[in-house]
A = this chain, B = another copy of it.
Amino acid sequence: MISVFIVDDHPVVIEGIHSLLQNEKDITWMGQAMNAQSCLGFFVNNTADVVLMDISMPGMDGVELCAVMKEKYPGIMILGLSTFNQGLYIKKMVEHGASGYILKNSSKEELIKAIHAVHKGYMYFSGEVGMALQEYQRTEKELPVLTAREKEILELIAQGYTNPQIAEKIFLSSFTVDSHRKNLLAKLGVKNTASLIRLAVEKKMI
């Protein structure tokens, strides 16, 4: 049984989703809020497994509310709601802890599929934005473990040394350095030095 709460400033959306879900045996309708304050008020004395949350709302928007909710109740899964593909906001919501995103005109099947997915801890993304963001998540969470040697060489690459220079510096063959470098690219799933260093700096690996 999955308890669901919805936050959206459009009554018609609340009603629509409510009616879509009311006959689902394993989904319980916990309630609704039409703004961020009301939502936060609800969760003082109540809880839910999954929160469907509008991205754009008057006052505190979905991105902020998402951050606050995840801060207070990390166990609650948040699924973004929007009427169109707004890549930037989706990305921001995910960065602030949302587990996914669906379009408001999604089918009943997709809605239920998405609720189940995020409840189990998966990410769910609706429509064509899906693939791009799955990729984003991959690099976001599953950071491969680098060996000591790889970290050492990554550091030197970031400092601007070339393979031959690194080889001389740490007494290795430049072939070896090149091997490690290629392993770094493969492990981190990037295709060249530029994206390697960007990832490394952003993830504070160096």
Chain A residues at the B interface, C-beta cutoff of 8 Å: 157-160, 162, 190-198, 201-202, 206
Q: Which residues of B contact A191 (CB under 8 A)?
A: 160
**Residues from chain B with Cβ under 8 Å of A159 in the complex:** 194-195, 198
Residues of B within 8 A of A194 (CB): 157-160, 193-194, 196-197
Residues of B within 8 A of A196 (CB): 194
Residues of B within 8 A of A190 (CB): 160
Which residues of B are found within 8 Å of A198, using beta-carbon distances?
158-160, 197, 201, 206
Complex CA–CA separation, A140 to B111 (angstroms): 50
Query: Complex formed: what's the CA distance from A193 to B192 in Å?
Result: 10
**What's the number of copies of this chain in the assembled complex?**
2
Contact of A192 among B162, B195, B201, B202 (CB under 8 A): B162
What is the minimal beta-carbon distance from A181 to any residue of chain B, in angstroms?
10
Find out whether the CB atom of B192 lies under 8 angstroms from the CB atom of A160. yes
**A162: which B residues are within 8 A, CB to CB?**
192
Q: 11 A-B pairs, CB-CB below 8 angstroms?
A: A158-B198, A159-B194, A159-B195, A159-B198, A160-B195, A160-B198, A193-B194, A197-B197, A198-B206, A201-B201, A201-B202
Which residue of B has the minimal Cβ distance to A195?
A: B160
Q: How far is the CA of A197 from the CA of B206 in the complex (A)?
A: 13
